[in-house]
Amino acid sequence: MDIIGFLGLGFSVALDPINILYCFIGVLLGTLVGVLPGIGPTATIAMLLPITFSLSPAAALIMLAGIYYGAQYGGSTTAILINLPGESSSAVTAIDGYQMAKKGRAGHALATAALGSFFAGTVGTLLLAFFAPPLARAALNFGAPEYFALIVLGLLVSIALAHGSILKALAMIVLGLLLGMVGQDIYTGTPRFTFGVRELYSGLNFVSVAVGIFGVAEILRNLENEKGREVMVKSVSNLWLGKEEFKRIIAPVIRGTALGSILGILPGGGHILASFASYSAEKRLSKNPEEFGHGAIEGVAGPESANNAAAQTSFIPLMTLGIPAHPVMALMVGAFILQGITPGPNVINDQPALFWGIIASMWIGNLLLVMLNLPLIGLWVKMLTIPYRALFPAIVLFACIGCYSINQNVFDIYAIGFFGILGYGLIRLGCEPAPLLLGFVLGPLLEEHLRRAMIISRGDPMIFLERPISATLLGLALLAVLIAILPSIRKKRKEVFVEED
């Protein structure tokens, strides 16, 4: 059978009314849990695993996959509306999305996210259908040195996340890296910075840090001056994108999709970089970078597309090699096994109907998602007309309950309070939270891959330059720094010349 035949087989499975129903339930549930802060796809899939016992393998996996990419979409809704990101990817969306909402353009931000995600999802699914096996093979060339180089590049490029002082952004990244090291060292098991608290052995919870430093800090800021200003603009004019805006998002969506697709394939943490990288790229390429951080629509379009493309392509290593790229994919492995299928290189040959059915369902799922969410935008935007004084207690509660439901760990809740205060203090001092969050998610990966690379090379740092991919990536990192510094040097030069004149 050729690829068209396989896709036909896939669609015949995915278009089965029962499977469409479960696909819809999946994306609907995913959207809902994505919207609720804290409860993410991991918790939901874990909770729903028992229910999938009684379903056919295709229906079960289609539904679980739907929850995953549905949640990716739903998460950005909360990030845009109330500045509560539930995942690292939506933290980036929150930067400009929330500013857009504050200016009464929440509808535009949400529509952009929906359309960008749909386009990216479509491309990601096509990649999965046509090139999954060779792409997965290529990704295997990434070992510890390559991942280390990639993360260094990601960190350096992402200084663009800040719209204020570069020095402060750097300090926030490093602080984030250090916070990411709290917990048991994976190499020796030594507990670090845990104050002897066992609950901290597995590290600080990302959701706690994000919810504290974005959500709680924002509430504390809004409480500063309640009479002086309204937090949200009440009059929301039109929800739909005009021609002008449509033109502005096309290029970012395409670039974001490309970046996200590539990074999503890398099982060692590439998907985390996708939205951060896309945001940096858009800011660099924009003609008015000063708009970023104050509601630039490109800052929503790019990262959202990148994120969704990566969500789609991160299925590639799982489906073709049985390798889970992140915790949600590890859960999917569990779901496969519970259905009596061990994911691995043989699934594509032994279970063609299932393999292609899931792929086809992803596209259908993305279509359902966009059909579900475009009408919902009006409803979400209405939600913003709830007075803030009634909305913020709900945000605090949802944050606490959501975080607690992940691991039943009360330290995750204390962490919300701690990071709320820290974030509030630092924001008042002109430091932005997004770089800290980036450092926090990448810190453990940076250390893990550096140390692993050094063990493999037996302590020889030349390994980073001897391997072509890692050398290229480090070269790009150096270039990124040079480009970042050059304009200010040139500017200084000009100033010097001006004075000489």
Partner 1 sequence: MKKTIATLALATLALSGTAFAQAYPTKPITVVVPFSAGGPTDTVARLVAEVMSGDLGQQVVVQNVGGAGGTLGAGQVATAPNDGYTLLLHHIGMSTAPTLYRSLPYVPLTDFATIGLITSVPMTLVARKDFEPNTLEELLAYIKTNGENVTYAHAGIGSASQLCGMLLMESTQTVMTTVPYQGAGPAMTDIIGGQIDMICDQTTNTTSQIQAGEVKAYAVTSPERLANLPDLPTTKEAGLDLEIGVWHGLYAPAGTDPAIIERLETSLQAALTNETVIARFAELGTAPVTAEEATPAALTEMLTSQIELWRGVIEAAGVYAE
Partner 2 sequence: MLAKFSLRDLLAGGIFVLAGAYFALEALNYEVGTPFRMGPGFMPLLLGAVLAALGIGVAASGWEKPDREKPLPPSWRGIVLIVGVVIFFGATIRGLGFVPVVFVAAFASAMASRLNSPLFAALLAVGLTVLCTAIFVIGLGMTVPWFGPWLGQ
Of 71-79, 141-149, 244-252, 255-263, the segment contacting partner 1 by CB under 8 A is: 141-149
Closest CB 334 distance from partner 1, rounded Å: 3
Q: Which of 343, 402, 420, 433 binds partner 1 (CB under 8 A)?
A: 343
- Round to whole Å and give the CA distance between 282 and 105: 20
Q: How many CA atoms lie within 13 A of 250 on its CB side?
A: 5
Q: Which of 11, 20, 181, 199 binds partner 1 (CB under 8 A)?
A: 199
CB-neighbour burial class of residue 243 (10 A; exposed 0-12, middle 13-18, buried 19+): exposed
Q: Which of 9, 15, 20, 49 binds partner 1 (CB under 8 A)?
A: 49
Site string for partner 1, 206-245 (x = CB under 8 A): ----------------------------------------
Distance between start and end Cα atoms, the chain: 74
Q: Which does 267 bind (CB under 5 to 8 A by kind): partner 1, partner 2, none?
A: partner 1
- Round to whole Å and give the CA distance between 315 and 121: 12
Residue 204 sits in the site that holds partner 1 (CB under 8 A): no
Residue 29 sits in the site that holds partner 1 (CB under 8 A): no
Cβ proximity of 34 and 40 under 8 Å = yes
Task: Specify the DSSP class assigned to residue 216.
Answer: I
Q: Which of 5, 164, 242, 327 binds partner 1 (CB under 8 A)?
A: 327
Non-local (6+) Cβ contacts of 17 within 8 A are: none
Which stretch of DSSP H or E encloses residue 463?
A: helix 463-466
Residue 56 sits in the site that holds partner 1 (CB under 8 A): no
Instruction: Calculate the CA 227 to chain-centre distance.
Output: 35
| DSSP string of 316-347, one letter each residue | HHHHHH---SSHHHHHHHHHHHHTT---STTH
Angle between helices 243-265 and 106-139 (to 10 degrees): 30
Which stretch of DSSP H or E encloses residue 183?
A: strand 183-184
CB count in 10 Å sphere of residue 230 = 12
Among 134, 81, 132, 146, residue whose Cα is nearest residue 107: 81
Q: Which does 192 bind (CB under 5 to 8 A by kind): partner 2, partner 1, none?
A: partner 2
- Round to whole Å and give the CA distance between 384 and 358: 36
Residue 28 sits in the site that holds partner 1 (CB under 8 A): no
Q: Which does 142 bind (CB under 5 to 8 A by kind): partner 1, partner 2, none?
A: partner 1
Q: Which does 400 bind (CB under 5 to 8 A by kind): partner 1, partner 2, none?
A: partner 2
Cβ proximity of 139 and 324 under 8 Å = no
Q: Which does 428 bind (CB under 5 to 8 A by kind): partner 2, partner 1, none?
A: partner 2
Residue 133 sits in the site that holds partner 1 (CB under 8 A): no
Cβ proximity of 73 and 117 under 8 Å = yes
Closest CB 108 distance from partner 2, rounded Å: 28
Residue 334 sits in the site that holds partner 1 (CB under 8 A): yes
Site string for partner 1, 441-470 (x = CB under 8 A): -------x---x--xx-x------------
Q: Which does 144 bind (CB under 5 to 8 A by kind): partner 1, partner 2, none?
A: partner 1
Task: Specify the DSSP class assigned to residue 322.
Answer: -
Closest CB 435 distance from partner 1, rounded Å: 24
Of 27-35, 198-206, 218-226, 416-424, the segment contacting partner 1 by CB under 8 A is: 198-206
Phi, psi (degrees; rounded to nearest 5) at 125? -65, -40
Phi, psi (degrees; rounded to nearest 5) at 111? -65, -40
CB-nearer residue toward partner 1: 39 or 169:
39
Report the interface residues with partner 2, using CB under 8 A.
33, 36, 39, 44, 47, 165, 167-168, 170-171, 174-175, 177-178, 181, 185, 187-188, 190, 192-193, 216, 219-220, 223-226, 389-390, 392-394, 396-398, 400-401, 404-405, 408, 410-411, 413-414, 416-417, 420-421, 424-426, 428-431, 446-447, 450-451, 454-455, 458-461
